[in-house]
Structure 1
Amino acid sequence: MRAVWLTEFGGPEVLVAGEAPEPVAGPGQVLVAVAYANITFVETQYRATGRGPFGIEPPGILGNGVGGVVTEVGPGADAGLVGQRVVTSTGGSGGYAERVAVDASGVFAVPDGVPLDTAVALLADGRTALLNLRAVGPVAGQRVLVLAAAGGVGTLLVQLAGAAGAAVVGASGGPDKRDVVRALGADDAVDYLRPDWARRAGPVDVVFDGVGGPLGRAAFELLRPGGRMSSYGSASGEWAAVDPDRAAARGVALVPGDRPAPQLVRELVREVLGLAARRAVRPVIGRRFPLADAAAAHAAIEARSTVGKTLLEVR
C-alpha cells in the first residue's frame, strides 16, 4: 500500500512517499480504508525534533487520526462494522497511509449527513476545543479571547464560545486570517502581528491560548480579576509559562491542561460529531494535500500559511 515514511528527524523533506506492508486486522481490530488523514501541529514538531508524544523511531509512519470505511474485521470484532464510515485515532502512528488496523473499540461511526472530511477535521480539534470550554466554566455574558483563532482548534472555540453566550474576540496573524475569524461570528477580530493588538483585544474574562510564548503572556495580562486562562498549544515554540504566583496575586486562575481519561475523550468526540450533525459547529478546512505531498502540507503549516485544519486526501 502507499504510505508516507518519516525517514529521519528534520525538515519536511524527511517525509517520503513509498510503499508499506499491508496491515492486518488482529483480534478485536478492524481494517480501515483511509479517505482522509488528519495533520496536527504537534506532528510537525515531532517530525522536526523527535520530541513529543508519539515515540516513533525512523523509519516510521506518522499520523494519529484518520477517517474512512471499515473493510475487514479481525477475530472477535463486530462484523456489522464492515462498510461503516468511521473516524479513529491510530494510537500515535500509521495514519499517513492507505489503510490502518485499529482497535474496534476506538472507532466512531460518522453520523449521517456529516462528510468524512468534516468528521476527520473534528476528531482531535473538536475534542480539544470542547475540553477547554468545559474547563474554564460558564462563559455566558463574558468577554473571551481566543489566540490562534484561525487555527483548527481556534476556529471551533470561536464558534462554541459564541454559542455559549460569550462575546468572542479572535486574535490571529494577518488580515486574511482576521477575515476568517470574523466570518465565523466573532464579535471582534484582531491581528496579533500589529503592535496595538492587545489594547484592542482587552480587557477579557477568559483566554484560550493556542500560541504560548510572548503572545500568550501578553494575553494573560489582559485578564480581569477572576479571569481564567486555558493554554492548549504552543505554536510559537514555547508555552506561555505564566508565573502561578503572579496569577494568584492578580486573582486569575490558570486552568490545568491535564490529559483527559479515555472515557471522557470518547464522550467529547461523540458530542462534537453530534454538533456537526446538527450543523451547530463546522470546521474550517483550509487546505488539502494528496497523501504523497505530506511534506508540502507540513511545510505549509510551519510557514503559518494555513487556516483551520489541513488534511491529507488519501482516496
Structure 2
Amino acid sequence: MRAVRVDGFGGPEVLVAREVPEPEPGPGQVVVEVAASNVMYLDTLVRSGWGLDHFPVEPPYVPGAGVAGTVVRVGEGVAPERVGALVVTDTGRAAPEGGEPVPPFGGYAQRVAVPASGLVDVPEGLAPEQALALLHDGPTALSLERSGGFGPGTWVLVLAATGGAGSLAVQLAAAAGARVVGAARGPEKLALAREMGAEAVVDYSEPGWVERVREATGGAGADVVLDGSGGDLGEAAFGAVADGGRFLSYGSAGGRFSEVDAGEAERRGIEVFGLFDLEDGKEGRSGAVRRILEMARSGRVRPHVGLTLPLERAEEAHRALEERRVLGKVLLVP
C-alpha cells in the first residue's frame, strides 16, 4: 500500500509517497481503509524538527494523527460486525500514563491499524471528510467554549478565525449569543469569518489591528480572547483583552506558543489559559467527538474543508498550510 513517509526532518519536500507494508490488526485492533487523512499545522512543525522536547519523534515515520474511513478487518477480540462501519479515529500509539503529548503518527496512508476502542462512528448523513474535520478541532473548540465562558453580549476575539478550531469557535460563540470579532489574514478569510458568525472582522496582517479590535468592542477590549496563532500575534492580542477578561492560548502556528506577562495579567485581573489548561468535559474526548459530530449532523456547526489533495501531493498540502493559503481544514485522500 501507499503511505507518505518522512525519512529526515526538513521542508515539505521530505514528504514522499512510498510503498510500505500492509498493516496487520493485533488483538483489540482493526484495519481502516482510509477515505481521508487529517493534516494539521502541527504536522508541518514536527516534520521540520520543531518541538522534539514535546513530541519525541525520529525519522523515518509516517505523519498524520487521524483518519476517516471504513473498517475492513478486525483483530482478535473485536466483534466481526464492526467490519463495514464508517468511522473516525486517531492514529499512532496511545498517550502514555501522565498525559504527555503524543507525536502525530501514521495517518497519511491508504490503510491504518488502530485500536477498536478509539473508533467513533460517523452519524448517518455526515460525510467522512466533514467528520474528520471535527476529530481534533471539535473537542478543542468545545473546550474553548467551556473555558471561555461564552455568553450573551460577551465580546469574543478569535485569532485564526478561519482555521479548523477557530472557525468552530466562532460558530459556538455566536450560537451562545456572544459578539464575535474574527481576526484573520486577507479579504477571503475575513469574508469566511463573517459567514461563520463574526460580527466584526480585523486583518491582523495590517498595522493597528489591536486598536481596531478595541474600537469594535467599544473601547474596553474583548472579554475573551482565543489565541489560535501563538507567537507574536498571540502576544499582541493580549493587549486586546479587557480588564478582568480571559486569554486562552491554544495554537502555535507562529512556531511557538504565546508568552504573556504574568504580572501584567495579575494586575489587570486577566485569567490566562494554556493549551493544557483548557477544561475537558466529563464526557471524555470520545464523547466530545460524538457530540460535535451530532452537532454537525444537525446543522448546528459546519466544518469548513478548504483543501483536499491526494496522498502524493502531501508536500503541496504542507506548503499551503505554512504559507497561510488555506481557508479551513486540509485533508489528504488516498
Q: Conserved in 2, the CA contact under 8 Å of 1:56 and 1:62?
A: no
The runs of 5 or more residues in structure 2 that have no matched partner are 93-103, 215-220
1:78-97 paired onto structure 2 within 5 Å: 78-91=79-92, 92-97=104-109
How far apart in 1 are the matches of 2:57 and 2:21?
A: 17
User: Are 1:266 and 2:286 an aligned pair?
Assistant: yes
Task: Tell me the TM-score normalized by structure 2.
Answer: 0.91
1:154-173 paired onto structure 2 within 5 Å: 154-173=166-185
Which amino acid in the other structure matches residue 90 of structure 2?
A: S
What is the CA deviation profile of residues 123-168 of structure 1, one whole-angstrom value per residue up to 9, with x for unaligned ones? 0111111111111224322000000101111111111110111000
Look up the match of 1:141: 153
Which amino acid in the other structure matches residue 211 of structure 1?
A: S
Aligned with 1:258: secondary structure?
helix
Measured on the aligned residues, the alpha-carbon RMSD in Å equals 1.5
Q: Equivalent of 2:213, from 201, 204, 208?
A: 201
What is the CA deviation profile of residues 154-203 of structure 1, one whole-angstrom value per residue up to 9, with x for unaligned ones? 11111111011100000001111111111112101111111121122121
What is the CA deviation profile of residues 253-301 of structure 1, one whole-angstrom value per residue up to 9, with x for unaligned ones? 1024327599621121111111011111111111111111111100111
Q: Conserved in 1, the CA contact under 8 Å of 2:251 and 2:275?
A: no
1:45-56 paired onto structure 2 within 5 Å: 45-52=45-52, 53-56=54-57
Which amino acid in the other structure matches residue 242 of structure 1?
A: V
1:50 Cα shift?
4.8
Which amino acid in the other structure matches residue 313 of structure 2?
A: D
Q: Equivalent of 2:272, from 248, 254, 263?
A: 254
How far apart in 2 are the matches of 1:148 and 1:256?
A: 16
1:54 Cα shift?
4.5
Look up the match of 2:6: 6
Q: Equivalent of 2:228, from 210, 214, 236?
A: 210
Look up the match of 2:95: none
Which amino acid in the other structure matches residue 82 of structure 1?
A: V
Aligned with 2:276: secondary structure?
coil
How far apart in 1 are the matches of 2:328 and 2:228?
A: 13
User: Are 1:112 and 2:124 an aligned pair?
Assistant: yes
Aligned with 1:198: secondary structure?
helix
Identity of aligned residues (%): 49
Q: Conserved in 2, the CA contact under 8 Å of 1:146 and 1:168?
A: yes
Against the structure 1 CA distance between its residues 313 and 161, is the aligned structure 2 distance closer, same or farther, given a 3 Å change threshold? same
Which amino acid in the other structure matches residue 81 of structure 1?
A: R
Deviates more, 1:294-303 or 1:134-143: 134-143
Look up the match of 1:38: 38
Q: Conserved in 1, the CA contact under 8 Å of 2:91 and 2:106?
A: yes
Aligned with 1:177: secondary structure?
helix
Aligned with 2:3: secondary structure?
strand
Look up the match of 2:298: 278
How far apart in 1 are the matches of 2:106 and 2:212?
A: 44
Look up the match of 1:187: 199
Aligned with 1:186: secondary structure?
coil
Q: Conserved in 2, the CA contact under 8 Å of 1:9 and 1:50?
A: no
Runs of 4+ in 1 over 3 A off after TM superposition: 52-56, 259-263
Aligned with 2:48: secondary structure?
helix
Q: Conserved in 2, the CA contact under 8 Å of 1:131 and 1:268?
A: no
What is the CA deviation profile of residues 79-136 of structure 1, one whole-angstrom value per residue up to 9, with x for unaligned ones? 2211010000013311100000000000100000110000001101111111111112
Against the structure 1 CA distance between its residues 227 and 50, is the aligned structure 2 distance closer, same or farther, given a 3 Å change threshold? closer
Deviates more, 1:289-298 or 1:263-272: 263-272
The runs of 5 or more residues in structure 1 that have no matched partner are none
How far apart in 2 are the matches of 1:183 and 1:263?
A: 30
How far apart in 1 are the matches of 2:55 and 2:33?
A: 22
Which amino acid in the other structure matches residue 87 of structure 2?
A: V
Q: Conserved in 2, the CA contact under 8 Å of 1:128 and 1:153?
A: yes
How far apart in 2 are the matches of 1:141 and 1:151?
A: 24
**Number of aligned positions between the proteins:** 314
Task: Tell me the TM-score normalized by structure 1.
Answer: 0.96
Q: Conserved in 2, the CA contact under 8 Å of 1:54 and 1:93?
A: no
